[in-house]
Amino acid sequence: LESDPRYKVVVPSYQVLENAISNNKYLLTRITEARASLRQKLEGKVVMFGWTAAGAYDYYPTPLFSQCPGVVIQGVAVNTILTEHFWYRAPKRLGALLTLGMGAAVTVIVAFFSSYRALIATLLLAISYLAINAFVLFDYADLIVPAAGAMTACAVVWGILTLYRYIFESTERARITARFSGYVDPAIVNMLIEDPDKVRFDGEVREMTVVFTDLAGFTTISEKLQERTVPLLNDYMGRMMPIIRRNRGTWNKFLGDGIMFFYNAPRDNPNHARDAVLTVLQMQDELEDFNKSLFAQQLPKVAMRAGIVTGSMIAGDAGSISAEDQTNMASDYTVLGDNVNLSARLESANKALGSRVLMTERTVELMGNDILVRPMAKLQVVGKTQGVMTFEPLCLIDKATEQQKKLAEHSKRVVEAFVAGNFKECEQAARAMQDELGSSKFTQIYIEQSREYLLAPPEGEFDGTIILESK
C-alpha cells in the first residue's frame, strides 16, 4: 500500500532492478537460459520449500518422530497423492470380529492348557496378531486394522478366566479333599491333587513299616451295647487317627475295631520305623484316657494290641481296574506282601505272650536308640516256616520307670538263655522274674517250654524258635 512507509523504499528498488535487467541484454539472456535449465530439471516434478533448521518453528510431532519438519509431512502427503498409495481404515465390524475372535481363542487356550502354558500361548497369540497387523496388513495391504481391542480382549479374557479357574479349582480341591478324605487317607488325596504324575499306583516295591492294631475286650462291650457300639467305636477311632497322621502315617483301612496303617508310602519317609513305633506308644497313652471315658459309662476297660513289621512290601492299587469297563472299577491303595501278613500275625501273637506290641528286629534296627525295648521271643507264627525275632517297645528311655527297666532286663536274661539252649538257666530266670514282677504269660510260656525241653531235648540244632499253633 502507498500508505505503508516501506512502499517508497521497496517498490522503487524493485522497479530499478527490473529496468536494469530489461535494459541489459546480456543479463537478460543469462536469466532466460537459467530459467530454461531450471524448467528442464524440475518439469514434471513437485518442488516444496520449507524450513529444516533446528531453530525454526516449522516442526510437528508424528507417530514416528517427536519433532518432524512440516515440509516433510507435506511431502509425504503429496507423495501419497501422486503414487495413490493411500491407507484405508478397516470396517468397524472387522475390528469387532477380530476382538471377539481373540477373546474366543484365549478362552479355548485357558480351557485346555495349564495356567503357565495358557499364559505363554496367550502371549504368543498376541505377538503374532501384532506382527501380522504391522507387517502384512499395514505395510503391504495399506490397511489400518484396530489392535487395541484385540489386545485388550486377550488381557481381560485371560485374566478373568485364570482367576475364575483358580477359584473354581481351589473350591473343587477343597470339596474333593473333604469328600474323599473320609474314605482315603488325606496324604494320598493331597498328593494326587498336587502332583498326580509323582504318585505311582501300578505297584512299587520298597522298604516300609506296616502296623496292625486291634482292641482286646471290645467284643464284650459290643455285645452289651449293640447298635450303641458305633458311637463308641467312632470316639476311639477319632482319638487314634490324628496320632497316626501326626506321625506321617498313611491310614489304609478299619478292620472292625482294628486299624491298618503304614509308613513310607506314598510319600517318602526315611524315619518310617521310628514314626511307627512312636505312633503305637502314643496310641497306648491315648487309650488310657479312652478307658477313663469307658469307666465313666460303667463299661469295662479295653486293651490295644499291635503288630509292627519293617521290610520289603509292594505299595500300589489293588482291586478291579479295567480301562474297558470303568463303571466296575474298584481299587484300594494298599500294601501287599509276606511282611504285611506277618504284621497281622504278630498283632494276634500278643495274646500268647501277654504283650501289647510285637515288632520285628528290622524295626528295632531303624527306630533309633532312645526307645526302651525288651526281647520277647523268636516266634514262628501260623503260616510261616521260619521264626522271626520279636521285641516289645515299652517307652522312651528318658521316661522309663524302674519297673520298666527291670522288665527289660529280666526279659533279656530269659530270652538269651532260651535261645542259647540253656533251659535250666532260662527257667530260673523266668521264676526270678515272676518273684520280682509277678506272674505273666511271658514267664509261663518260657517255664513251660524250658521244662519240655529239659524232659525231651530238641533234636538237631536249636535256634530258640517258639512255634505258635493258633493265630
Residues 295/216, Cβ–Cβ less than 8 Å: no
Closest residue by Cα to residue 390 from 428, 338, 442? 442
Residue of higher predicted confidence among 4 and 219: 219
Per-residue pLDDT, 406? 96
Mean pLDDT of 169-189: 67
User: What pLDDT digit, counting tens, does each position of 431-465 carry?
Assistant: 999 999 999 999 999 999 999 999 999 988 899 99
Helix 148-180 / helix 115-131 crossing angle, nearest 10 deg: 170
pTM (2 d.p.): 0.64
Q: How many CB atoms lie within 10 A of CB 110?
A: 23
- The two most distant CA atoms of the chain are separated, in Å, by 165
Residue 344 C-alpha cell reads as: 497281622
1, three cell numbers: 500500500
Q: How far apart are CA 343 and CA 308, in angstroms?
A: 6
Q: Rounded distance, CA 192 to CA 188, Å?
A: 6
Dihedral angle sign, alpha carbons of residues 446, 440, 358, 211: positive
- Determine the length of the chain: 471
- R_g over Cα of the chain: 48
Backbone CA torsion sign across 316, 320, 321, 327: negative
Summarised one tens digit per residue, pLDDT across range 113-126 is 888 888 899 999 99
**Rounded percentage of the chain residues whose pLDDT exceeds 70:** 85
All structural domains of the chain with their residue ranges: 1-45, 88-179, 199-320+329-368
Among 191, 334, 315, smallest CA distance to 261 is for 334
Q: Ranked by mean pLDDT, which of 120-129, 201-210, 414-423, 457-466 comes out on top?
A: 414-423
φ, ψ of residue 430 to 5 degrees: the values are -70, -40
Q: What is the pLDDT of residues 51-87, one digit of tens each?
A: 766 666 778 888 778 888 888 888 888 887 777 777 7
- Tell me what pLDDT residue 197 has: 56
Contact 345, 382 (CB under 8 A): yes
Q: What are phi and psi of 208, to 5 degrees?
A: -140, 175
CATH superfamily of 199-320+329-368: Nucleotide cyclase, GGDEF domain (3.30.70.1230)
| CB contact at 8 A, 237 and 287 | no
**What's the CA gap between 313 and 416, in Å, rounded?**
30
As given in the structure block, the three cell numbers for residue 204 are 512299587
The rounded distance, in Å, linking the Cα atoms of 132 and 121 is 16
Torsion of CA 99, 100, 104, 109, to 10 degrees: 0
- Of 137, 279, 265, the C-alpha closest to 204 is 265
Instruction: Decide: residue 1, CB within 10 A, 0-12 exposed, 13-18 middle, 19+ buried.
Output: exposed
C-alpha 306/C-alpha 347 separation (Å) is 5
